[in-house]
Structure 1
Amino acid sequence: MVNVNHSPSPATFWTQANALLRNNLTFQKRNKKANIRLILFPLILCILLVLLQYVIDTQLDKPKFKCGCECPKSDICDESEKVCGVEYSDETQLVTCAIPNPTEWPPLLQLSQGKWYPAVFTTLFTAQNHSFGQIVSNNMFPSNFTMDLSDIKGSLALNVLGSESLAEDNNFIEPAFTSELPIYNLQTQCPQDNIAFPAQFQIGGGNEQEDTHTFPIEIGGRALTKEIKCANGINLWRNSSSDINDEIYKGYQSDDPEGQINDIVSAFDFLNSNEDAFNVTVWYKSTFKGSNNFGPTPLLRIPRSINLISNAYLQFLRGPGTKMLFEFVKEMPKSATPIKIEIASLLGSLFFTWVVLQLFPVVLTALVYEKQQKLRIMMKMHGLGDGPYWMISYGFFLALSVIYMVCFVLFGSVLGLKFFTLNDYSIQFVFYFIYVNLQISLAFLLASFFSNVKTATVTAYISVFGTGLLAGFLFQFFIQDSSFPRGWIICMELYPGFALYRGLYEFAQYAVSGSHSGTDGMRWQDLSDSSNGMKEVLIIMSAEWIVVLFVAYYIDQVLSTGTGKSPLFFLKGFQKKHLSPFKKPGFQEQGSKVLAQMDKPDVIREREKVEQLLLEPTLNHAIVCDDLKKFYPGRDGNPGKFAVKELFLAVPRGECFGMLGPNGAGKTSFISMMIGLTEPTSGAAYVEGLDIRTHMNGIYTNMGVCPQHDLLWETLTGREHLLFYGRLKNLTGSVLTQAVEESLKSLNLFHGGVADKQAGKYSGGMKRRLSVAISLIGDPKVVYMDEPSTGLDPASRKCLWNVIKLAKQDRAIILTTHSMEEAEALCDRLGVFVNGNLQCIGNPKELKARYGGTYVLTMTTSSDREKDVENMVQQLSPNANKIYRLSGTQKFELPKEDVKIANVFQAVEIAKRNFTVFAWGLADTTLEDVFIKVAREAQASDTLS
């Protein structure tokens, strides 16, 4: 026996889910080495970052990256005797030094690099009172350069200086005095006919020449030489603030061919200001369009613009001698700040993006593997519903992803990476949890469009590395550019890989900031910060997770599960109920049609039987096919083809029906329709009263399939396969164990450790026997076997036949085969399929009687007696036909209607008296002869038609 005499009820949702979960756990247990390697990947990367951090910290601990120190009294002294400070440091060391008394710098205007000569810098102004605005703006720039050597700082403050160099984020060092760019003095009119003049201001020197002055400037104890050029500062009136805004927006460089307007320094709107009220709006230079400086200029040079307009108004009120002296700007004192490079935070955005994305190919290839090996449809054909499959598969991948991410964060935290330790763990958990859900949903969606594991794997890994590189070298550039439209950044974050990178980038930024300032990293309250993109990323990923999961499930239902469903399957509840399968509309008209193919009475009788069964209120046949057709449209200029046409068939329980036919006859197409792999073009078929077009899920619970090609997990054993499919058929406990044991024993898969060997190591014959055992486990009421004995040795084939003979006693079996011996041994009825048509149907004896029609007489004599044998045969039947002759051995076909067996025996006895007969025999027509004859006649008929 193949299984226990047990008829379990259909498995419940949770029974199916339990079966699939156990199977997945077993499958992952077989792949534990791959899983360990997967989890170790982030550990190895974290260790690599720690080692790299150690190397960098070691280098930064060297003197050249620390504040400079010298021995005050001699060339050699102890470390404790050394004196350190800015004056002993080079440019690299300066940033690390303590600055208790920051340098005082003259206030400057921010200018753009000019292209015209002489240099002209412009301010724009407008006001409700034109004359007031003109008078005040004329007081902005002085008429000459003033220098008092006894009060250099005060002298510089009385002048209007500007620089083309960009300000830094602090004022410890003013770039205008360290760069090679000149400093401009803005005057109402430059001397020497408006030609820019160079004036050398050198420390410690003295020169009484006109336009040459000196004043001391020291940085780190070193004297600097700066060139100051005169530039014309002019004020231009505009009619309104909108005109000013438009002119500023068009660009800083003027197209004026006269070269009178070169650059706009700032602009002012005096609004309703007058002698009694001062109300002004200031435009200042914050970006440099068309240059390589994309970020906003810090606000360190704006105070000079405000001071100029304030002084101009004060002079309007109190006269030209009244001024507010703006002596200097300086930074707050600074403690020693050693150079720190948090390598994990700097590289984490890119590297950790790759770490998280590594899960995507794992999930995608697992799903595509099930699709490529047809394991998903195999499970479904044995009763696994879509609900349990989705719940367990999704939950399993989610659990694997969560474990992976927990190990990732745990490894990084244990190794002390501030990327993990400074940022709030709850935010990290929410972020990673949402993303891995989105990633799994995306894998389910994309799996519907792949059918090959290698293609899916290559595509997935290209997307992993491509996403990281594009995000690190393009997307991050847009994030850091504050002038880049925020809407476009949000659009790019709709791509899940960029959303992941943005979240990791925010973690990295907060980790770097916290590491340098000694504060915490990202906290929940930080999400309300407009510069923090984490909040929008979480919202985008959450919304995409729900949408992608819904779309993935929808596409899976429509495209990827056997025959699929209608694109509007979710509206099924609003559609009209399907008519009873046994009350077909228009059936009476069908019954009145003139029956074709009158030369096939057995096929006609089968059709009449089907039509009569469909009229009865209940059906006692396991399988009923009613005018079933399958048409494949033509492609590439080839005509379409009917694989199955006008098939009427009724198979009761307890019968094994054999389908014979040449290759391409339509047998596999018929099986594919019955098991839900393809959808019928027209017609209907009913299995245990359920329509294959609408109730395949119900049919699957009572169906077993042995496909033409073995659909097995390579890493699962034979026993594990049977346990899984047995659970899907609701077998549990001792009943399941006994059914599996008997299945293995009956098919010779029990002894020698075969049952516990992985299926990937089975021979072809062992895989076929396992496929047959799977099809019979759980007592299915209908079983389809597509060439089950292919590749079996004679002993195994005989064993398999015995199993099938026992199994057919209480179920309907449809079997396809090319072995006439197998068909005659197993099948109660046979049908010969040729070119999609059922040519004949009946038991083997009936078919041989109907289509055989001849006896084969074989006789061996000496060569000189061949003519005597021919004469004897002609006397028995004038219509006899010689089909073989070699060295005295001859074969003749004798029409059955011409001869009787007794007459043949009598003629042979008479011949023996006249000459020597070495051997003779009389054989009836074989099933193979019937098959060949029917196939040839059908093909000839199709050729003629």
Structure 2
Amino acid sequence: MGRKQENGDGRGLELRSGIPLFIQQSSALLKKNALLSWRNKRATFLQLVSSLFFIFLIFAVDQAIKAQTRNTTGFKNLFDPQPEEVTAIPPCEDGFFIKTDGIGCWDFFYTPTGNADIERIVSAMKRNNPLRVIPDNKVRGFPSIDEAETFLLQNPMRCPAAVHFDIRANNVIAYGIQTNSTAKQIRGIYENANFKFQIPVQAAVERELTRFLTNNANLAWNVFFTEFAHPNIETFSTVGTIGPTFLLAAAMFGFVIQMSNLVGEKENKLRQAMSTMGLMNSAYWLTWLLWELLLGIISSVLLVLFGMAFQFYFFLNNDFLVLFFMFFLFAVNMTGFAFLLSTFLSKATSATSVGFFIFVVGFLTQLVTAFGFPYDKQFSSGLRGLWSLFPPDLLAIGLKYLGDATATKQDAGISFKDIDKCSIGNDDCVLTMSQIYIWLAATFVVWLLLALYFDNVLPDANGVRKPWTYFLRPSYWAGSSSKATEGGGCCSCTQAAPPAPELGELDDEDVVAEEDLVKRQKRDIVDDPAVAVRIQGLRKTFAGKTELKCCCRIKSTKPYHAVKDVWYNIEKDKLFCLLGPNGAGKTTTINCLTGIIPTTNGDALIYGDSVRSTSGMAKIRGYMGVCPQFDILWEALSGREHLHLFGSIKGLRPADITSGTEQLLAQVKLLEAAKVRSGSYSGGMKRRLSVAIALIGDPKIVFLDEPTTGMDPVTRRHVWDIIESSKKGRAIVLTTHSMEEADILGDRIAIMARGRLRCIGTSIHLKTRFGAGYIVNVSVRKESVGNSPIMPASSPRGEELRRDEVKQFFKDQLGVEFKDETRAYITFVIPREKDRELTDFFNLLEEEKERLHISDVQISLTTLEEVFLNISKKAELESAAADGRFDVLTLTSGPAIGMCINVPVGAPFVAVPGTESSETPNGMMVEIYWQQDDTGSLCIAGHSDLMPSPAPSAARPARRSGSQRRSFGPVGSFGRSSRIMEAEVIQMSNIDGNRPGSRRMSMS
């Protein structure tokens, strides 16, 4: 399927749609992911082979355990044991568990004392001990067994053995030996107390008893002992026991990288940029899923191969497919879990913290799972189901079962055909491997569906979200008409009620006429073929916030009305320039038109498609290009790769993508840097690439938000030529802070301030209506024809006199003062009201040209910048008057220095309290110099020296000629500001403000 996008000049490109477009977008995004992974080789390498490092750690732990038991015969294969001779009773100091501090130890105890035969036997044991005679102080006797045990309890670890004799008859002597049989191990050396102490003591007792009873002191006595043959003891699988923790740590690398990539694209608005250019959400999520599945397959295969390489029975005896599906399904499950968590995060750096938290929780739950909770028959199935929702728990129980099936080399493990059965000997099995697989797959589907749901209903960076029940609405599945607006398609957490009009907000006649035209077209359902965009009462309000501060204080902010009921048309084949100070509502308007944020009220039709309609916005994005205010680029992709990606998202044919990319790169002079990664571009190069991206696919409507920011003058002029040549066949909407750029490119210009449209029209029209008038620059010759001997023309004084003559001529003929003066020109501003006098004036000026020594005269309209400043000042003053805002003036000179006075914003003069005297009965006043900050708000820049305040009926003070300090007040009359000053500060009802752009006013 395809569609042909045609512009007004009849040209057009074949664009794919439907399933072919979905496939093309998916392929482009997969290629993008592959390129980013290849260029971020370190992270990709860690994600794929991190399992090798953790398998090695498991191997190291396994070898450490084997090293500790290396000297113990129980953990060795003993098929042909050799007899060993029983040696002497060792000194007590040789025992690992015997204390050797100042109190000392004993080689053995005996009971009872006081019996001559027993004393004789014990003495013989000490005397006849091979290799060494046991000292008397190393043997201690007790009258009874109870006393011996009491001493042993009070003095633990002081004696390795005790012999308890029992003479039952003259020739019958019984005995018992009491030893600490706990095996001890220190630094890899294993000590068996039975072999080291019990057998030597037993052999010594039996030897001396036999000699005593046979009355043969020289009886030879040699005792040997031999272990039974046995295989080595292997009671657990190292991988099955500690593997879950290490393998979970390996999985966390991919988990954190997945979340970082997803959240990073959201944080950097890369996903928003792709969506604005027509990317389908389904293609976006599918490509990420396919890419992570591919990485999961590779990492799972490598994990099993690494385990086999280290010769673990766990990997050798269990079937390859059983192991592969265990690790692969766990990786898939963690991918879905990462998708879900990414919808709640807004910063890529948070992914690391979340990943660490998941690992810690997983480590703790795996420890609990290793002890059988809750995968035991004594626990309920509901508890097991709840526990199994956490992916690491399923990994832990799966590896435990696989480890139990391969505890020894002889264990056969679990084959793939037996995954629906419990392994042999696992009597407590409550889940089979197939059931674990089903749990992993099912919970993955749950995570994925929840991720898609929360991705739609959680507010994004602009506060936009869909209703909680969006999936129950037929319009979501079938789409609504692109021609009609729909309510509730999405929410923006805003106040829906229109803002109340501010006091003093009176629309300009051009704005009213434009509004009437649009309303009439809407009412009569007129489809003007020359109109590309029709904005109908667009409003955007951002809701206020309520925050809990410290000390239980609640801070609330009012709703902010960013755009207030604007109506205007944007024509085809023309560039519409939208101007305004910061916070005027320009970018908000662009965001509403591009679908980034929804409108609160009103609508906009772009080529007949509504921005409030789901299907309408989908169509608009297919033929729309956007250059955002800030560059939204992948630093690892080149300029050519960016254009190929966005061309594919648009649905261009491969041949058109290639040709269009090369053409645009040449136009923006990036052909030589086409293969260079955008992260190495300068600021100007990035802006040029953003302009090229906006023009890819030959869009019918293009939005350029400050496109030439950061460019050098030569490049800026070149981009202006590109934009100018791109007008034909499309409508271009441009926002800029460069008045020169707006003047050159703009076919129609609108100025916004405080969310409202203040004026609209061509550049000439705006200059004529809102400018201060005409600007006349006069150049005076440095030398005259007839030099005076008294005052040579070339002297500085002579030139100054000639300049004064010119200034006086303009004042006498037109009543205007000079505005500026340089060595080259004297500048005058002639008000528009004097249009009728200009013809006679310039005729007279031509006649007096030689007398006044004038060499050049230039005349021009007021600049667009002057118009912009006038409009923004007027809007700011109206807002300040409506809000009753004041600013604080601190006097920096005069007798009242340091005094602070509350001044209504925009007031030109203010009286200084306490300055009345006989000479100045009305007191003193100062003129206030106002300026606008970066947000367009008026603030005090300074004040003049003190001057006498006029009487209420006094004439308006005259201007001081030659003054260079700028001050301004409202456009037109200061009636409202004067009343505020009258009520709040001074009684000066007749002081009127000077016009915008005038020089400092002072009292004569």
Report how far residue 772 of structure 1 moved: 0.5
Contact 1:624–1:650 under 8 Å retained in 2: yes
Q: Is 1:735 matched up with 2:656?
A: yes
Taking a change above 3 Å as real, the CA distance of residues 673 and 701 of structure 1, as seen in their structure-2 partners, is same
Mean CA deviation greater in 608-617 or 739-748: 608-617
User: Cα–Cα, structure 1 residues 208 and 686, in superposed 2: closer, same or farther, change >3 Å?
Assistant: farther
Higher RCO (C-alpha under 8 Å, 6+ residues apart): 1
Query: What is the alpha-carbon root mean square deviation over aligned residues?
Result: 3.9
Shift of 1:482: 6.5
Q: Say which is worse superposed, 352-361 or 830-839, in terms of deviation.
A: 352-361
- Does the 8 A contact of 1:5 with 1:779 survive in 2? no
Paired residue type of 1:810: G
> Is the deviation greater in 624-633 or in 478-487?
478-487
Corresponding residue number in structure 2 for 1:610: 518
Task: Report if the CA contact (8 A) 2:377-2:430 is conserved.
Answer: no
8 Å contact kept, 1:68–1:88: no
Q: Which residue of 869, 872, 878 corresponds with 2:806?
A: 869
Give structure 1 stretches of 5+ with no counterpart.
70-78, 91-179, 183-199, 226-332
In 2, the alpha carbon distance for the partners of 1:63 and 1:603 equals 97
Helix, strand or coil at the partner of 2:564: strand
Does the CA-based 8 Å contact 2:810-2:817 persist in structure 1?
no
Cα gap change, 1:417/1:480 in structure 2, threshold over 3 Å: closer, same or farther? farther
The aligned residue for residue 645 of structure 1 is: 564
How far off its partner does 1:645 sit? 0.5
Q: Which residue of 2 aligns with 1:315?
A: none
Residue of structure 2 in register with 1:544 after alignment: 443
Is 1:768–1:790's contact at 8 Å kept on the other side of the alignment? yes
Secondary structure class of the residue paired with 2:584:
coil
For 1:682-724, what per-residue CA distance to the aligned partner results, in whole angstroms no more than 9, with x for missing partners?
Answer: 1111222222122322221111110001010110000000011
Aligned to 1:796: 715
Task: Give the superposition deviation at 1:531.
Answer: 1.8
- Partner amino acid, structure 1, of 2:323: Q
Question: Is the aligned partner of 1:712 residue 2:673?
Answer: no
Q: Secondary structure at the match of 2:635?
A: coil
Judge conservation of contact 1:67–1:86 (CA < 8 Å) in 2.
no
Question: Does 1:913 pair with 2:922?
Answer: no
1:29 and 2:38 correspond: yes
Deviation track 1:898-925 (CA, whole Å, cap 9, x = no partner) reads 2455434333334333343365433321
Letter in 2 for 1:30: R
Report the 3-state secondary structure (helix = DSSP H, G, I; strand = E; otherwise coil) of the residue aligned with 2:848. helix
Name the residue aligned to 2:735: 816
2:320 is the alignment partner of 1:413: no
Contact persistence 1:203–1:224 (CA under 8 A): no
Counterpart of 1:697 in 2: which secondary structure?
A: helix
Cα 1:384–1:887 shift into 2, 3 Å: closer
User: Partners in 1 of 2:708 and 2:805 — Cα distance?
Assistant: 46
Q: Output the CA distance in 2 between the equivalents of 1:4 and 1:411.
A: 62
Q: Distance in 2 between matches of 1:565 and 1:207?
A: 95
Alpha-carbon distance between aligned partners in 1 of 2:59 and 2:754, rounded to the nearest angstrom: 70
Q: In the superposition, relative to structure 1, how do residues 417 and 920 fare at CA in structure 2: closer, same or farther (>3 Å)?
A: same
Q: Once the 2 structures are TM-superposed, how far is the Cα of residue 763 of structure 1 from its aligned partner?
A: 0.6
The residue number in structure 2 matching 1:884 is 820
Asked if the contact 1:626–1:685 (Cα under 8 Å) also holds between the matched residues in 2, the reply is yes
| Partner AA of 1:510 in structure 2 | A
- 1:28-62: CA deviation from partner (whole Å, max 9, x where unpaired): 22223421232222113323444554565466444
Deviation at 1:530, TM superposition (A): 5.8
Q: How many residues align?
A: 708
Question: In the aligned structure 2, how far is the partner of 1:584 from the partner of 1:336?
Answer: 82
What does 1:892-903 align with in structure 2 at a 5 Å threshold? 892-899=828-835, 900-903=837-840
Maintained 8 Å contact 1:598/1:604: no
Alignment of 1:573-612 (within 5 A): 573=474, 581=483, 600-612=508-520
Per the alignment, residue 4 of structure 2 pairs with none
Say whether the 8 Å CA contact 1:68–1:85 is kept in structure 2. no
Partner-residue secondary structure (3-state), 1:631: strand
Does residue 532 (structure 1) correspond to residue 440 (structure 2)? The answer is no
Q: Distance in 2 between matches of 1:934 and 1:364?
A: 47
Displacement after TM superposition at 1:571 (Å): 2.0
Residues 366 and 817 from structure 1, CA distance in 2 versus in 1: closer, same or farther, beyond 3 angstroms?
same
Flag the 1:820–1:215 CA change in 2: closer, same or farther, 3 A.
closer
Identify which range, 646-655 or 854-863, moves more after superposition. 854-863
Q: Measure, in 2, the Cα distance between the counterparts of 1:89 and 1:731.
A: 93
Does the 8 Å CA contact 2:240/2:401 hold for their aligned counterparts? no
Secondary structure of 1:607's match? helix
Q: SS where residue 36 of structure 2 aligns?
A: helix
Change (3 A) 1:777 1:84: farther
Which residue identity lines up with residue 716 of structure 1 in the other structure?
L
Distance 2:85 2:534 in 1: 98
1:657 corresponds to 2:544: no
Look up the equivalent residue of 1:24 and give its one-letter code. N
- Aligned residue type for 1:624: R
Give the counterpart of 1:499 among 367, 385, 394: 394
Write the deviation string for residues 600-651 of structure 1: whole angstroms up to 9, x where unpaired.
2211222122223333264533211110001122334333221101111211
State how far apart, in whole Å, the 2-side matches of 1:481 and 1:384 are.
45
Distance 1:843 1:481, change over 3 A: closer
Aligned to 1:171: none
Aligned with 2:413 (options 520, 523, 530): 520
Specify whether residues 526 and 690 from structure 1 end up closer, same or farther in structure 2 by C-alpha distance, changes over 3 A only. same
Aligned position for 1:347: 242
1:851 aligns with 2:770: yes
Q: Please, which of 665, 679, 691 is the counterpart of residue 598 of structure 2?
A: 679
TM-score, normalised via structure 1 length: 0.68
Residues 1:777 and 2:659 aligned together: no
Deviation of the 1:888 alpha carbon: 9.9
* Equivalent in 480, 488, 510 of residue 405 of structure 2: 510
Offset at residue 741 of structure 1 (A): 0.5
Partner Cα separation in structure 1 for residue 479 and residue 43 of structure 2: 50
Q: Deviations over 1:279-329 (max 9, x none)?
A: xxxxxxxxxxxxxxxxxxxxxxxxxxxxxxxxxxxxxxxxxxxxxxxxxxx
- Name 1:360's counterpart in structure 2: 255
Change (3 A) 1:919 1:387: same
User: What one-letter code is carried by the residue in structure 2 that aligns with 1:622?
Assistant: A
5+ residue gaps in structure 2? 1-6, 91-147, 151-160, 180-193, 203-226, 488-497, 546-554, 781-798, 883-1004
Deviation string, structure 1 residues 513-539 (Cα, Å, up to 9, x no partner): x43x54335742543866225436444
> Which digits, 9 at most, give the CA deviation of each residue in 1:734-765, with x for residues without a partner?
322111101101001002xx110111111111
CA, structure 1 residues 530+65, in 2 after alignment: closer, same or farther (shift >3 Å)? closer
Per mean C-alpha deviation after superposition, the further-off stretch among 629-638 and 404-413 is 629-638
Aligned to 1:757: 676
TM-score (norm 2): 0.64
Aligned partners of 2:562 and 2:585 also within 8 Å: yes
Q: Secondary structure at the match of 2:850?
A: helix
Match of 2:468 among 567, 571, 575: 567
Is 2:635 the partner of 1:723? Answer: no
- d(CA) in 2 for partners of 1:347 and 1:68? 25
Task: Select the residue among 250, 270, 277 that pairs with 1:375.
Answer: 270
Corresponding residue of 1:922: 859
Preserved contact between residue 604 and residue 610 of structure 2 (Cα < 8 Å): yes
Amino acid of the residue matched to residue 35 of structure 1?
Answer: T
Structure 1 contact 865–888 (Cα < 8 Å) conserved: no
Report which of the two has the higher share of helix: 1
Residue type of the alignment partner of 1:347: I
State how far apart, in whole Å, the 2-side matches of 1:844 and 1:365 are.
48
Aligned partners of 2:376 and 2:429 also within 8 Å: no
Aligned AA for 2:32? N
Q: Which amino acid is 2:657 matched to? A: L
**What residue number does 1:938 align with?**
875
SS at match of 1:630: strand
Query: How far did residue 342 of structure 1 move?
Result: 4.9
